[in-house]
Amino acid sequence: MKKKHIHFIGIGGSGMYPLAQILHSRGFYLTGSDNNETETLQAVRDMGIPVYLGQRAENIEGADLIVHTAAIMADNPELIAAKASGVPVLERSELLGIVTSWFDNAICVAGTHGKTTTTSMITQIIYTAGIDLSAFIGGKLPCIHGSGRYGSSDIMTCEACEFVDTFLKLYPDIAVLLNIDADHLDYFGTVDNIIASFHKFAARTTKAVIYNGSDGNTCRAMDGISGKERITFGNTSDCDYYPTDIRHVSGMETHFHLMHHNTDLGEIVLHVAGEHNVLNATAAAAAAMYVGVSFENVAKGLSEFRGAGRRFEKKGEVNGITLVDDYAHHPTELTATLKAAMAMPFRKVWAVFQPFTFSRTAMLLDEFAQALSIPDCTILTDIMGSREKNTYNIFSRQLGEKIPGAIWFPQDESNPETTDTRKYENFKQVCQYVCDHASAGDLVITLGCGDVNKVNKMILQELQKRYEM
C-alpha cells in the first residue's frame, strides 16, 4: 500500500519539525520546503525527508495533503498552488489537533510563560519512567532527540500555544494551565479576552485541568469550569501541589520538597535555574502523577532534566566568558530569566536582546525597559518584525533610551524594511561590541524568540578565533 504523501510548507519551523518527526515515525511519506537553511532543516534531511530550499508551485507535486504554518503569507506561490490544486490544505495547528485526537491521555500544556520547559519536563519524566509516549514540544529535548516523538502508549504531551487561539483546535484530555499574562495583544486586545480564550481551552478538556492556583488570571479562567477534575498547583499550601524548603545549592541546581495535600512526597533536585522553574516542575509533577507515574520516577526524571533547547541553554565558554541562549521574549519571562542570571556568581551579566514583533515591542515598551534594566549591560538588536509591518513606527532606539546604559545598533529608521544583508551587519556589530568588551568571569546571554541565537553563535566563533588559536 502506498504511503500517504504529506507536504510541509515551512518544514523547518519550530511547530512543523515535531509534527514531521511524529508523522515520519508513523510511516507517512513526507516532503517539505523552507526559505532559510537552518540546523533544524538539516535535521529534517537527516531523517530522510526530501527538502526543497525556496518555495515554488512545483514543490507540492504528488502530495495527498499539504500543511503550512501560519507565518506563510497569502501571496506565497507554493501556498497559492496548494489551494488551487484541489488537494486538502491544513494550517499546522489543525493537523496538530488531529494528532492530539489519536490519544486517550493527551496532556496539553498552556500558559503565557513556561510552556516549552514544562512540556519538556513532563516528557522527560514520563520517558525516563519507561513509558513509550508521544510528544510535541516547541524546543528540542535531548532525551527524545528532537522536538517530536511518536510512541505506542496512549499518552501524548503537547505544547499548546494560545496565539490566534490555535490551542482551541486541540483535543486535550488533561490540560495544564501555567499562567495568564498580557501578550499577543495585537490579536486579543485585552487581558480579559485572553482569559476568556483560556476558559474555552479548559472547557474543551475531557478529564482534568491542572492549573496555577496562585495566579489570579488563571483562577478567573477556571470560573464555571465543571464536569472534569480540577487540580491546583502553586506557591502556597492551599494548592493541591506546592513546593517547600526551596534551596539554591548552586547557580544551576535547586532542591525543594514536593507537597501534596500537606503530605511531603520527598525531595526534588533541579538542574535548571530560577524559582520559576520550581513552579514549572511542580506543575509537571502533578501532570505526570495524574497519568500514573510514581513520585520516585517524577524525582528521577526531573533530576535528569537539563533544560530544553534555547531555555537557558549553555552554548560554550571561551576565556572565562560563558555564553547562554534563551527564548525569553516577553517582559515577565525576561524578568525571571535575568533575575536568575544575576543571582549567579558571574562578574557581569550581558543581555543581548532581539525584540520580536513591532506590536509587542510598542504595547509593552515600558515593561520591556524595566525587565532589561536588571542586568549589568543590555544590548539591543533591530526588532524582528516576523509576520508584521512596522505600522507602529517603533525601533530599538525607543526601547534603548529607556534602559540606563543600554547600547543598540538600530537599522536605518528612514528605511525600516530589514534585509538579510542588513540583519547580518546588525548582528555583526553586536558581536564585535560584545567580544571587545566582555571579560573573563562574565555571562553573555542572548534573548528572544527570533533568530538571535545566530548572534550567540557568531560571538562564540569570534571569541574562539581570538583566544583559542
State the pLDDT at residue 421. 80
Q: What is the pLDDT along the chain (469 residues), one digit of tens a residue?
A: 356 999 999 999 889 999 999 999 999 999 999 988 888 899 999 999 999 999 999 999 999 999 998 878 889 999 999 999 999 999 999 999 999 999 999 999 999 999 999 999 999 999 999 999 999 999 889 999 999 999 999 999 999 999 899 999 999 999 999 999 989 888 999 999 999 999 999 999 999 999 999 999 999 999 999 999 999 999 999 999 999 999 988 777 899 999 999 999 999 999 998 889 999 999 999 999 999 999 999 999 999 999 887 888 889 999 999 999 998 999 999 998 999 899 888 999 999 999 999 999 999 999 999 999 999 999 999 999 887 889 999 999 999 999 999 999 876 676 666 677 888 899 999 999 999 999 999 999 999 988 999 999 999 999 999 987 6
Task: Give Cα 239 distance to the centre of its chain.
Answer: 26
Helix (H) or strand (E) holding 124: helix 115-128
Confirm if 20 and 11 have CB atoms less than 8 A apart. yes
Which residues, in sequence order, are CB contacts of 129 under 8 Å at separation 6+? 288, 293, 294, 297, 300, 301
Confirm if 339 and 371 have CB atoms less than 8 A apart. no
Q: Is the dihedral of CA 76, 78, 81, 82 positive or negative?
A: negative
In the Cβ-directed half-sphere of 255, how many Cα atoms lie within 13 Å? 6
Question: What is the DSSP secondary-structure string of 128-155?
Answer: HTT---EEEEEEEEGGGTEEEE--SSSE
Residues paired with 260 in a beta bridge: 241, 263
Distances (CA, A) of 406 to 325, 332, 340, 401, 434: 19, 19, 20, 7, 13
Please give the sequence-ordered ranges of beta strands (E in DSSP) within 65-194, or none if there are none. Answer: 65-68, 89-91, 105-110, 134-141, 146-149, 155-159, 174-177
Question: What is the DSSP secondary-structure string of 329-352?
Answer: -SHHHHHHHHHHHHTSS-SEEEEE
State the pLDDT at residue 411. 64
Helix (H) or strand (E) holding 264: strand 263-270
What the block records as the C-alpha cell of 364 is: 509593552
Cα pseudo-dihedral 431, 404, 272, 292, rounded to 10: -120
Decide: residue 361, CB within 10 A, 0-12 exposed, 13-18 middle, 19+ buried: buried
CA distance 120 to 270: 13
Q: Return the axis-axis angle of helices 17-25 and 92-100, rounded to nearest 10°.
A: 40
CA distance 378 to 399: 11
CA distance 58 to 177: 42
Confirm if 128 and 143 have CB atoms less than 8 A apart. yes
CA distance 4 to 7: 10
Count CB atoms within 10 A of the CB of residue 87.
16
Decide: residue 273, CB within 10 A, 0-12 exposed, 13-18 middle, 19+ buried: buried
Buried b (16+ CB within 10 A) or exposed e, 328-348: bbbbbbbbbbbbbbeeeebeb
What the block records as the C-alpha cell of 240 is: 493541591
Which residues, in sequence order, are CB contacts of 424 under 8 Å at separation 6+? none
CA distance 82 to 210: 40
Grouping H, G, I as helix, E, B as strand and the rest as coil, residue 201 is helix
